Chains A and B, each alone.
Chain A
Amino acid sequence: MENLFLEKSNKTPFIEFDANRGYLLIEGRSIPEDALDFYQPLFSWLDSYSKTAQEVTVMEFKLEYFNTSSSKCLVEILRRLEDINCEKHVEVKWFYEQDDEDMQESGEDYMQLVNVPISFEPY
């Protein structure tokens, strides 16, 4: 299975989905005009990955800002990880800047919504 790398832009985050290591990273700012257009390849990749997922999958979110549409797409990603977590082990790490309480609280909201363990990592 091919890995997925997307360079970051002013409006979209850096994406590193490494199937061999079971390491997934979304980093930066996510304010695309068409969130679904940006996230659809990620959904498709995750759908394929779920069939051959590693024993342990680590998903890291290092977001500094994301818009409302992106927040819905993040739910979709977490839903897919929730499915993978039923058979394999998934760890989600939610990174946020030390003084960014909003980002921390957003992560806590996601934790309440999905059935995947989320750990919080201030930096």
Chain B
Amino acid sequence: MSKKITVLYAEDNEHDVLATERAWHKNKIENDLIIVRDGEECIDYLYHRGKYSDADLHPWPALLLLDLNMPKLDGLGVLKILFEDKVRDPLSIVVLTTSDLDEDKIASYNYGVKNYIRKPVGFGNFSEAIKTINLYWALVEAE
């Protein structure tokens, strides 16, 4: 049976966070959506550093929704760290784009990311994206 996976969402834009939370709520998605607001916080979460040191409270996500344009460490910086550290557990990554700018796509493609969602994350484009990365089974909708 399907196991409920956690989704980590790295996003500094409050409007996009709100829109994504709304999509979660509206579509009764039961997966936990954990929000981190910049690249450093994202890395802290994944490596159980600082306020995320308790690994039981902060489970490993199976999916990372990653905004590229963030303060401190940006999305490409996060990708670089994850790409170079090959010992981590499997983590599917979907990059969020604001436009169809090819340079962003090419840069993240170099870190092995092939999946994009054009922001904001809605139910439609989100379920489409996780379908393509074979995580569809992991999308839990409440009865």
Chains A and B come from one and the same complex: no
Which positions in B face A, CB cutoff 8 Å? none
Which positions in A face B, CB cutoff 8 Å? none
